[in-house]
Amino acid sequence: MSVWFVLSALSLLGNPTLPLEWRQGGKTTQIWTIPIPAAQNHGFGFHDAPDREKGQRIGAFWSPHQYQWMVNGGYFEADFSPSGYCRIDGRDLNTRVNPKLSGFLAIDASGRLSMHTRLPDRTRYPTILQTGPHIIDPGGNVGIRRHTGRIAARTVIGRRTNGDLLVLVTAPIDLYDLAQLVKQEIPDIERLLNLDGGPSTALRLGDIRIDNLTPVRNYLYKRKQTPPTP
């Protein structure tokens, strides 16, 4: 069994501008967590960045006046096409569902983000991105059964049973360890879905600057805005 020693006074749901630090086997890993209360579920979107040749990183698309935060998006192939189903702002970029990717992020016209296990109704969502795997399966059970042996920076997005969302960006860590840690620290986590990681990992939040080492196909953001009228 893995044992985690939290070095920070913060929990995973603490101040998002300060990383949680945890230690396992003498190694310390930093994790930045962005909690999004259910009442603030609005203003989400994906920025498509199809021009790989420009070699642009997250800083080319980030605006502190426009966005609350921005992270890297989903997986892409060697030709820079999205690895799974991808529709951004009503434009179909890949209509093929990838059986290897277990989840979908969908954003409706109001900017509300929802998480799905099957391709949702395209007429309801102008933006849909397929990604995965679930490292915590829908229902709350850990979805990674054993250590993968792959240590890499990670970006994941999840939902709690009360409807709150959270985004985590980490220093290099095994997905199994990350799933176990989140389940331990946030027992009411209902699901947690993997986005791209490794050299694609990117984050902008306040003064936090984590640049992706290689170009990525899309970026997930949350706009600065007032809540929509009920």
pLDDT tens digits for 191-202? 999 999 999 999
Q: What is the pLDDT of residue 2?
A: 35
Give the strand order in the sheet containing 27-36. 5-6, 20-24, 27-36, 165-173, 152-160, 189-194, 134-136
Residue 34 lies in a domain: yes
Residue 104 lies in a domain: yes
Residue 12 lies in a domain: no
In the numeric block, the tokens 């109704």 are attached to 121
Percent of the chain scored above 70 by pLDDT?
Answer: 86
What residues contact residue 27 under an 8 Å CB cut-off, 6+ apart?
none
Residue 107 lies in a domain: yes
Residue 216 lies in a domain: yes
* pLDDT-derived band at 3, boundaries 50, 70, 90: very low
Q: What is the pLDDT of residue 29?
A: 83
Tokens of 208: 């936090």
Residue 202 lies in a domain: yes
* pLDDT-derived band at 224, boundaries 50, 70, 90: very high
Q: Are 96 and 172 in contact (CB under 8 A)?
A: no
Which range of residues forms the domain containing residue 125? 21-223
Tokens of 207: 């003064």
| Strand, coil or helix: 58 | helix
The residue-averaged pLDDT of 215-221 equals: 96
Number of compact structural domains in the chain: 1
pTM for the predicted model, two decimal places: 0.90
Q: Are 209 and 38 in contact (CB under 8 A)?
A: no
Residue 9 lies in a domain: no
Q: What is the pLDDT of residue 128?
A: 99
* pLDDT-derived band at 4, boundaries 50, 70, 90: very low
Of the given ranges (53-67, 70-84, 166-180), which has the lowest mean pLDDT?
Answer: 53-67
What's the pLDDT tens digit per position in 145-181?
999 888 999 999 999 999 999 999 999 999 999 999 9
Tokens of 38: 């259910």
Residue 115 lies in a domain: yes
The residue-averaged pLDDT of 135-140 equals: 97
